[in-house]
Amino acid sequence: MATYNGAEYVAHQLRSILDELAPQDDVVVVDDASSDDTVAIIEAMGDPRVRVIRQSPNRGYVRTFESAMLNATGDVLLLADQDDEWIAGRRDALVEAALASGVAASNLVLLGSGQPLRSPIGGRPWLLRSSDSVQRLRNELRILAGVAPYFGCAMAVRRDMLPVLTPFPAYLSESHDLWIATAANEMRALRHVEQATVRRRIHDSNASSSAPRGLRAALRSRLMLARAWADARRRVRSR
């Protein structure tokens, strides 16, 4: 988990995570120099399975997630945002899929309504389908077009994927989840899980948004992701 000024929702999210975990599991939280009570709230929960790493100075959510992944010790790493809610059965569904494939990406629903997100293009339910897991070129073209619903909060990574996934490209300033999906897709290691495993909380301070962006920002993002695709291909070929 990456945290930054998440005091309002982090306790609720952590309770939903801890309810899902097995006794041998743990939660690695890297806090990105929060100025509020985020760390104090986490530590006050008093659960020995939670380990907090304080990061300073502020490095942004991409580098913070990278740090959390590198500091985790489990065989499978489940990524978590600070403000969502895990759905019962998430751990087992994502662990099973990640162990079988390498990287698992599931669907999610909105907290409160229980409805899926809507695609920013066309407005239809934004869903992953298990049958599309093997459609490597189609998956990558959807990523580049901005219509692939890969969210880090709904992902799991098998530990042996880390040598390809990390370090994240130095130029990656957003969309760590799309980088993970791109690299996993290139490795033929990506599996779509149709089950929804997380309820996503939408609020004014979300680090990422499903809303359409301006043309210039969208083009800049697509160019970055095209560069990431090329880098992923090079990393996989050099293994």
pLDDT interval class at 10 (50, 70, 90): very high
What is the structure's pLDDT at 206?
A: 64
What is the structure's pLDDT at 64?
A: 98
What is the structure's pLDDT at 211?
A: 52
Could you give the strand order of the β-sheet that contains 76-78, starting from the edge strand earlier in sequence?
76-78, 155-158, 103-110, 190-200, 85-86
What is the structure's pLDDT at 121?
A: 81
How do the domains of the chain map onto residue ranges?
2-237
What's the Cα-to-Cα distance from 68 to each of 52, 81, 134, 157, rounded to whole Å?
Answer: 10, 12, 28, 12
118-145 residue pLDDT tens: 988 888 999 999 999 999 999 999 999 9
DSSP per-residue letters across 81-109: -SS-EEPTTHHHHHHHHHHHHSEEEEEEE
Q: Does a cis peptide bond (omega within 30 degrees of 0) precede residue 125? A: no
| Cβ–Cβ under 8 Å, residues 197 and 108 | yes
The backbone torsions φ and ψ at residue 117, rounded to the nearest 5 degrees and listed phi first, read -60, 160
Class of domain 2-237: alpha beta
- Report how far residue 2's alpha carbon sits from residue 49's, in angstroms, rounded to the nearest whole number: 16
